[in-house]
């Protein structure tokens, strides 16, 4: 046994240091695009144990890859192939430490599964609004490290906006207790916000104090059929105007995206029959703090106005919680249907909402010209200006061949267009290994040098998740 492995065993107990056997659950990413090999998988049970692990790694010059639920989509949560990195899994740190109803905060350890955090808030009749399809397995530490977005961002913000304080272990093994539940604290640089979105490259998040909100009294959900994306974005404006802060979700799904769901999950019911004249389906969600009757009045008023103005051709309103769940299931099944369809190229992009119709028309056409037969799976969080503008190989072509031969060219075409339209190449999934080189090409030199200065200051030996982000 190496001296490092002995030190790790001393830090967390030998049974929580795994070196042999099948470690693929920690070494292979969710999309199965990145496969690494860890020197050891280490599973600490407390902040003090995390600090001891990091001190041991520092003493032996070993690099560390933090991991939560391993659902990240950019190849940032698994070790590289060198066999020298320590994979630090936070999943044993899964305690809710406190709920303060009067302060509207909840403090959770980093390895708490997102759904557990949501349930702990609900047990106090409160809402933790972060919500995404991986919520049954992703962790709050991973959500914050990736600054996850999800389906409620347009009302409640992304993970960053939902976090008031952090506890972090530095690469040297020091513990920073920043778990204040304060909404105002102007005592110098915003350390919390440096760690949020840092993808494990600066330190290890061990706990977080999160913002809670009142639970809505009623929710309304509908699917609406739009002829164009321009109509869908006009509908978004109308929904903002009519529902105000009650508008909590506004998702869009292209017809090919939904056809993949129909093909691979035929058991899911489609409340709106596919219609080539309305290739865009919008999912609208409203949350109301008054009552079901109040909610329904506003919601039906919105849909009637949209029909009158010709923004939608048809709509289906959920009449029960089960029907609402079923509508969300259609949306959440899209990435899963893509997996079933075969390897694909993901673009998690942000654009000014006003420019989305024009971006999609221009980029769809350019892709079709450059790669005949290419299939576009376009869906996402239209209310946030965030598209999952994904590409599936042409029918009849082996998907892995297409990716090997064409992925770089496809990315260049799409990301050049994103740059022209004033967008971002990563809206919510992060940079990781997948987009590191694109970031280096496309972010301004000044921004990159500021980022490098932060990395150098907080992780001077470059041992935290090396090769990711920058």
Which spans of this chain sit near ligand FAD (rule: CB under 6 A)? 30, 65-73, 76-77, 90, 110, 132-134, 138-139, 141-143, 145-146, 148-150, 199-200, 204-205, 335, 428-429, 465
Least CB distance to ligand FAD at residue 305 (A): 29
Least CB distance to ligand FAD at residue 160 (A): 11
State which residue, 73 or 126, has the beta carbon closest to ligand FAD. Answer: 73
Least CB distance to ligand FAD at residue 379 (A): 11
State which residue, 36 or 246, has the beta carbon closest to ligand FAD. Answer: 36
Chain centroid to Cα 372, Å, comes to 31
- Kindly write down the DSSP assignment for every residue of 243-279, as one continuous string: HGGGEEEEEEEEHHHHHHHHHH-TTS--SS---TT--
As a whole number of angstroms, the distance between CA 149 and CA 158 comes to 5
Least CB distance to ligand FAD at residue 203 (A): 7
State which residue, 118 or 465, has the beta carbon closest to ligand FAD. Answer: 465
CB 339 within 8 Å of CB 258: no
Only one residue has tokens 């190229």, namely 345
Residue number with the smallest Cβ distance to ligand FAD:
142
Least CB distance to ligand FAD at residue 304 (A): 30
Q: How many residues does the chain have?
A: 470
Least CB distance to ligand FAD at residue 93 (A): 8
β-sheet with 204-211: strand ranges across:
96-100, 105-109, 204-211, 163-169, 175-178
State which residue, 167 or 234, has the beta carbon closest to ligand FAD. Answer: 167
348-350/386-392 β-pairing? antiparallel
Cβ contacts of 226 within 8 Å, gap of 6 or more: 232, 235, 278, 280, 281, 282, 311, 312, 313
As a whole number of angstroms, the distance between CA 230 and CA 467 comes to 40
State which residue, 91 or 105, has the beta carbon closest to ligand FAD. Answer: 91
- Kindly write down the DSSP assignment for every residue of 39-56, as one continuous string: EEEE--SSHHHHHHHHHH
State which residue, 5 or 166, has the beta carbon closest to ligand FAD. Answer: 166
Least CB distance to ligand FAD at residue 332 (A): 7
State which residue, 43 or 406, has the beta carbon closest to ligand FAD. Answer: 43
């Amino acid at each position: 046994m190496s001296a490092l492995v002995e030190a790790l065993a001393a830090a967390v107990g030998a049974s929580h240091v795994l070196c042999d056997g099948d470690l693929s659950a920690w070494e292979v990413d969710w999309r199965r695009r990145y496969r690494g090999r860890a020197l050891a998988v280490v599973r600490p049970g407390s902040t003090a144990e995390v600090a001891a692990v990091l001190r041991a790694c520092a003493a032996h010059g070993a690099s560390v890859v933090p991991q939560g639920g391993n659902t990240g989509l950019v190849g940032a949560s698994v070790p590289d192939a060198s066999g020298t990195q320590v994979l630090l899994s936070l999943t044993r740190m899964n305690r809710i430490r406190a709920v303060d109803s009067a302060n509207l905060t909840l403090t959770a350890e980093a390895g708490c599964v997102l759904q557990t955090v949501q349930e702990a808030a609900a047990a106090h009749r409160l809402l933790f609004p972060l919500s995404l399809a991986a919520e049954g397995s992703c962790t709050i530490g991973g959500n914050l490290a990736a600054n996850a977005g999800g389906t409620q961002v347009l009302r409640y913000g992304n993970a960053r906006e939902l976090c008031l304080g952090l506890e972090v272990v530095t690469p040297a093994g020091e513990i920073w207790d920043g778990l204040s539940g304060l909404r105002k604290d102007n005592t110098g640089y915003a350390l919390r916000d440096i760690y949020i979105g840092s993808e494990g490259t600066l330190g290890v998040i061990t706990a977080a104090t999160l913002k809670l909100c009142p639970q809505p009294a009623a929710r309304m959900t509908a699917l609406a059929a739009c002829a164009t994306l321009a109509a869908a974005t006009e509908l978004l404006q109308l929904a903002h105007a009519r529902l105000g802060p009650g508008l909590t979700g506004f998702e869009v799904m292209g017809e090919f995206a939904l056809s993949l769901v129909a093909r691979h999950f035929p058991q899911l019911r489609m409340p709106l029959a596919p219609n080539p004249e309305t290739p865009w389906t919008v999912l609208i969600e409203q949350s109301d703090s008054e009552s079901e009757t109040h909610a329904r009045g506003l919601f039906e008023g919105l849909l009637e106005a949209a029909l009158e103005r010709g923004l939608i051709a048809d709509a289906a309103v959920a009449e029960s919680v089960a029907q609402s769940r079923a509508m969300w299931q259609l949306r959440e099944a899209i990435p899963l249907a893509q997996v079933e369809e075969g390897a694909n190229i993901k673009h998690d992009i942000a654009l000014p909402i006003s420019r989305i119709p024009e971006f999609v028309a221009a980029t769809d056409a350019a892709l079709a010209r450059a790669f005949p037969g290419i299939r576009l799976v376009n869906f996402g969080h239209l209310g946030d200006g965030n598209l999952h503008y994904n590409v599936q190989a042409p029918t009849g072509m082996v998907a892995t061949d297409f990716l090997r031969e064409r992925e770089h060219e496809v990315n260049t075409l799409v990301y050049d267009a994103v740059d022209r339209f004033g967008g971002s190449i990563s809206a919510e999934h992060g940079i990781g290994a997948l987009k590191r080189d694109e970031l280096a090409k496309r972010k301004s030199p000044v921004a990159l040098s500021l980022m490098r200065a932060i990395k150098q200051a907080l992780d001077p030996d470059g041992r935290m998740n090396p090769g990711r982000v920058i």
